[in-house]
């Protein structure tokens, strides 16, 4: 299957929870202002978020009053247009400035950070870039081992210290090594939970400061990896990480495992942080640049 077909298959649960529910409800029911409230319930059940759902339904009611929406086809065309408007244009990771381009990857354990880093490294290497990975989640020996496996698989180099080492030292050494070796892209892993006296966000701030000591322009991208299956909890996570280190983009994983893919819209509306990448499977090619137009098309087609 091509990626669009995989995307359609991957977000089938979300489509069922959203578009098909709308079709089921309004197949026989008259579309008026009172029935429009049912749209709000459907959107919220798909984790659109209350703000996004209310915004859409208020506009829908205006259109109904103006006589512009009378049929199910009118309603679906309206929803499609509004969803496209909300998501805006594609905003993938774009390399800029002096090398190395440093991507600091953050997120809670279990969100899919290690896999995302591995897939990104593989993609960049296949595009002809040299990649160096920094294993700064030193609190989990398994994370270091997994990253080493991914680095070998991707054809990337890796900087590792022993388990329990200072994560900031790993990050610093990785950027320094990249500068000396003329590496194009650095991807740094970080812990998602700490079993020490230092709070996680303070540790991340320290890593961020230390990277800047090595290379003032870095990190150019602070990528938050979020698990789509956690729904609204993902918004809370994003706020915490954004307050700590300032998130520039989001990689949304496990979209194929959730009926709550509306979280894509909630992230955009409530946080204003671009979703740069989506994961719709376990395969190495199942992490792709997020294309809002394709995403909405896959929901409705």
- The answer to whether 255 and 245 have CB atoms below 8 angstroms apart is no
- Residue range 200-216: average pLDDT? 96
Looking at residue 79, its pLDDT comes to: 96
pLDDT grade for 284, boundaries at 50, 70 and 90:
confident
Biggest alpha carbon distance in the chain? 68
Looking at residue 192, its pLDDT comes to: 92
Is the full-model pTM beyond 0.85?
A: yes
The region of weakest confidence among 163-177, 194-208, 224-238 is 194-208
Looking at residue 27, its pLDDT comes to: 86
Average pLDDT, rounded, for the chain = 93
Q: Is the N-terminal amide bond of 219 cis, ω within 30° of 0?
A: yes
Confidence check: pLDDT of 196 > 90: no
Looking at residue 260, its pLDDT comes to: 86
Domain ranges of the chain: 3-87, 101-290
Looking at residue 197, its pLDDT comes to: 63
Percentage of the chain lying above the pLDDT 90 cut: 80
Q: Three-state SS across 153-199?
A: HHCCEEECCCCCCCHHHHHHHHHHHHHHHCCCEEEEECCCCCCCCCC
Q: Which has more pLDDT, 257 or 296? A: 296
Confidence check: pLDDT of 123 > 90: yes
Residue 113: closest CA among 187, 43, 41: 187
Just give the CATH number of 101-290.
3.40.50.300
Q: Tokens at residue 101, please? A: 């381009």
- Residue 280 neighbours by CB distance under 10 Å: 24
Sequence-separated contacts (24+) of 195-200 with Cβ below 8 Å: 195/139, 196/139
Looking at residue 212, its pLDDT comes to: 97
Residue 103: closest CA among 247, 275, 288: 247
Confidence check: pLDDT of 252 > 90: yes
pLDDT grade for 283, boundaries at 50, 70 and 90:
confident
Q: Is the N-terminal amide bond of 100 cis, ω within 30° of 0?
A: yes
Looking at residue 257, its pLDDT comes to: 84
Tell me the angle at which helices 12-26 and 292-300 cross, rounded to the nearest 10 degrees: 50
Q: Tokens at residue 31, please? A: 């579309």
- Residue range 231-257: average pLDDT? 93
**Strands in the chain per DSSP E:** 101-106, 131-135, 157-159, 185-189, 221-227, 249-253, 275-279, 287-289
Q: Three-state SS across 249-260?
A: EEEEECHHHCCC
- Residue 148 neighbours by CB distance under 10 Å: 14
- Residue range 265-288: average pLDDT? 90
Q: Which has more pLDDT, 14 or 195? A: 14
pLDDT grade for 256, boundaries at 50, 70 and 90:
confident
- Residue range 124-147: average pLDDT? 95
Just give the CATH number of 3-87.
1.20.120.140
Looking at residue 208, its pLDDT comes to: 97
């Amino acid at each position: 299957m091509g990626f669009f077909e995989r995307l359609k298959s991957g977000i089938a649960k979300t489509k069922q929870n959203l578009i098909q529910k709308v079709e089921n409800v309004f197949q026989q029911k008259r579309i008026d202002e009172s029935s429009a409230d049912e749209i709000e319930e459907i959107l919220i059940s798909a984790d659109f978020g209350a703000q996004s759902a209310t915004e859409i339904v208020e506009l829908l009611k205006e259109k109904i009053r103006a006589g512009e929406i009378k049929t199910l086809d009118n309603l679906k065309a309206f929803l499609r247009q509004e969803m496209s408007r909300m998501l805006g244009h594609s905003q993938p990771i774009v390399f800029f400035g002096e090398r190395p381009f440093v991507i600091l990857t953050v997120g809670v354990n279990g969100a899919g950070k290690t896999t995302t880093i591995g897939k990104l490294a593989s993609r960049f290497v296949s595009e002809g870039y040299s990649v160096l990975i920094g294993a700064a989640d030193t609190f989990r020996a398994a994370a270091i081992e997994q990253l080493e496996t991914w680095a070998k698989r991707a054809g990337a180099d890796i900087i590792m210290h022993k388990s329990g080492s200072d994560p900031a030292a790993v990050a610093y050494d990785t950027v320094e090594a990249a500068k000396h070796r003329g590496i194009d892209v650095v991807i740094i892993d970080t812990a998602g939970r700490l079993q020490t006296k230092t709070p996680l966000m303070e540790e991340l701030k320290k890593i961020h400061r230390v990277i800047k000591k090595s290379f003032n322009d870095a990190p150019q991208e602070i990528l938050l990896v979020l698990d789509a299956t956690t729904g609204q909890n993902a918004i809370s996570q994003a706020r915490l990480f954004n307050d700590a280190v300032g998130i520039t983009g989001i990689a949304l994983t496990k979209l194929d495992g959730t009926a709550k893919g509306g979280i894509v819209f909630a992230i955009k509306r409530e946080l204003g942080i671009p979703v740069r990448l989506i994961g719709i499977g376990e395969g190495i090619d199942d992490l792709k640049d997020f294309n809002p137009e394709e995403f909405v098309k896959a929901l409705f087609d």
